[in-house]
Amino acid sequence: MLFDTHVHLNDKKYAQDLLEVMERAKNEGVTRMLVVGYDQRSNRRAIELAEQYDFIYAAVGWHPVDSIYLTEELFAELVEQVKHPKVVAVGECGLDYHWDTSPVDLQKEVFIRQIKLAQEVNKPLVIHTRESIADTLEILKAHDAHTVGGVMHCYSGSVEMARQFIDLNFKISLGGPVTFTNGRRPQAVATEIPLEHLLVETDAPYLTPHPHRGTRNEPFYVSLVAKKIAELKDLPYERVCEQTTANACTLFKMT
């Protein structure tokens, strides 16, 4: 069994063949998926899919790149969405300094609001951090994010920084980059961080694992991530599948 803990089946790239994509994933042993939202449309679609399929759960949030577009009306909708019984996390949210769409101060404000929202509903956070890892850690510490914990989505930082996030009650999620030939950092994390702190994801349709880079990603490929972790840790593939699934179920308060 496998749990793809970060997938965007709410992306329009799956509009034509969503049923086939889900069937391929199920045939590969993917038993649960977390469809993650990042703006109004994707949040609504994530909830819609979670309502429609037993094996799909939703996370709703506001992506840092789009912070500039978050109005009070849209945030009020998010406040209601996080109360949905199949919404198991808040996010993806965080900081992204790679793009200059939204000012840093505004990104931080929107991030902090979502941390507080997660605390109000007692649901974990799904964190996006790009070229902003030190500030992300500082904000999580300053606003007591350890009280709800969460997951560092598609983690690309150092082993040392990963340990600091783990100390804050966060899991480390690895995706396609751990399979890349130049994926030294995520491979070091996969090797050094105990399996009890790891999750697996695809971030599909993005970041397709090796050897399929350059094609559309899909949850079927989460098995390649788990196989790479098993190889790096010299563990049975089944053990990685079972433990990362158990980790996710504990984090998202599932039976």
pTM above 0.95, yes or no: yes
The pLDDT value given to residue 211:
97
Q: What is the mean pLDDT of each run of 10 residues along the chain (255 residues)?
A: 98 98 98 99 99 99 98 99 99 97 98 99 99 99 99 98 99 99 98 99 98 97 99 99 99 93
Burial 77-98 (b: 16+ CB within 10 A, else e): ebeebbebeebbbbbbbbbbee
Burial class (CB within 10 angstroms; exposed 0-12, middle 13-18, buried 19+) of 76: exposed
The pLDDT value given to residue 58:
99
Overall number of domains in the chain: 1
The pLDDT value given to residue 37:
99
Residue 181's domain is classified under what CATH number? 3.20.20.140
The pLDDT value given to residue 182:
96
Instruction: State which residues form the domain around 9.
Output: 2-251
